[in-house]
Amino acid sequence: MEKDNSNETFEQELHEHFAFDIDEGQEPLRIDKFLMSRIENATRNKIQKAAKEGSIRVNDTIVKSSYKVKKGDKIRVLFSHPPYENLLTPEDIDLNIEYEDDSIIVINKKSGMVVHPGHGNYSGTLINGLLYHFNNLPVNSSNRPGLVHRIDKDTSGLLVVAKTEKSMTILAKQFFNKSVNREYIALVWGDVKNDEGEINAPIGRNPKNRLQMIVYEDLEGGKEAITNYKVIERFGYVTLISCRLKTGRTHQIRVHMKYLGHTLFNDERYGGDKILKGTVYSKYKQFVQNCFEIIPRQALHAKTLGFVHPKTKENILFDSELPNDMNYVIEKWRSYTKHKNL
């Protein structure tokens, strides 16, 4: 009797989009709620639709959206099409190039631009633009053309891209060895106590909200993360600081400053879009709301970027101006502080 391979063929045609292994500390929770907390831009409707189509599996069994996840479960979300981030399409996007030669490109990324395609962001990314403007960029271990490092979607500033395999290898080694000079400018809530300091605190995923990172007590929970900060100017209820990274963890400055008690101004993901310091008066609330509208993102800019050029072996340093939204909101706080004698 001939073996029926129809199920096997169907399985081969499916593509894994997401996978989660449930750890010991997981409380029973509906799978639609679980996936909403772990997949960016996912809605309950989208997840329930996926469940109805048989795209959600636990321990290789199709489950309904009401299934309750428990420790030891292996969750897979499968679709018949490949993940959109694998379908890289060239797009004519202005990249705001600061410098270019035959080895590297230095870009001053605008806030709002995602660096590489991912769930919910399949076009308009830096990589889509790179593919349009440049041919034959080398790919990194994640199959992302030219990328050596990244900065968050709503963070503006400098980023280096490799144009050759050799450049990518040499630059990646510098990032790995922590020899790259990176300075960020941030506006944070509260009056930072010390004029300067170092935050040495491991960072890892928040098990309760996978879209956030948190500080762990030891390296078992997180990876080594070191940030040096220095106060530039004080505005009473907020402080302008410079941060230099010794490591490059996801959301590092945002997480370290929150850990210090000084969440970045208007950082929605970490609670900085609330009024965390100041008065209860309605005029003050309106002033802060106006500031939020001026800079509808976390107030963070990657200002300088320095490294050894992969070809010439020279130490090079790139500097960028603060974007208009940051300059404007800083000036608003400066004026407010002066007027209120804070």
Tens of pLDDT, residues 243-284: 999 999 999 999 999 999 999 999 999 999 999 999 999 999
The model's pLDDT over 86-142, given as tens digits with 9 standing for 90+, comes to 567 899 999 999 999 999 999 999 999 999 877 666 789 999 999 999 999 998 877
The model's pLDDT over 167-178, given as tens digits with 9 standing for 90+, comes to 999 999 999 999
- The fold for domain 85-177 equals Pseudouridine synthase (3.30.2350)
pLDDT at position 5, please?
A: 41
Q: Which superfamily, per CATH, for 178-342? A: Pseudouridine synthase (3.30.2350.10)
Catalytic amino acids? 152
Please spell the DSSP secondary structure of 40-100, one letter per residue.
Answer: TT--HHHHHHHHHTT-EEETTEE--TTPEE-TT-EEEEEESSPPGGGS---------EEEE
Burial class (CB in 10 A: 0-12, 13-18, 19+), 341: exposed
Quick one: pLDDT band at residue 235, thresholds 50, 70, 90? very high
Write down the pTM of the prediction: 0.78
User: CA 271 → CA 61, 188, 205, 261, 267, distances in Å?
Assistant: 38, 12, 17, 11, 6
- More confident: 332 or 72: 332
- The CATH number of 6-82, from 3.40.605.10, 3.40.50.300, 3.10.290.10, 3.20.20.80, is 3.10.290.10
Domain segments of the chain as ranges: 6-82, 85-177, 178-342
Mean pLDDT, range 152-168, rounded to an integer:
97
Mean pLDDT of the chain: 90
Q: Pull the structure tokens for residue 57.
A: 């599996």
Number of Cβ within 10 Å of residue 210's Cβ equals 15
Quick one: pLDDT band at residue 13, thresholds 50, 70, 90? low
The model's pLDDT over 277-323, given as tens digits with 9 standing for 90+, comes to 999 999 999 999 999 999 999 999 999 999 999 999 999 999 999 99
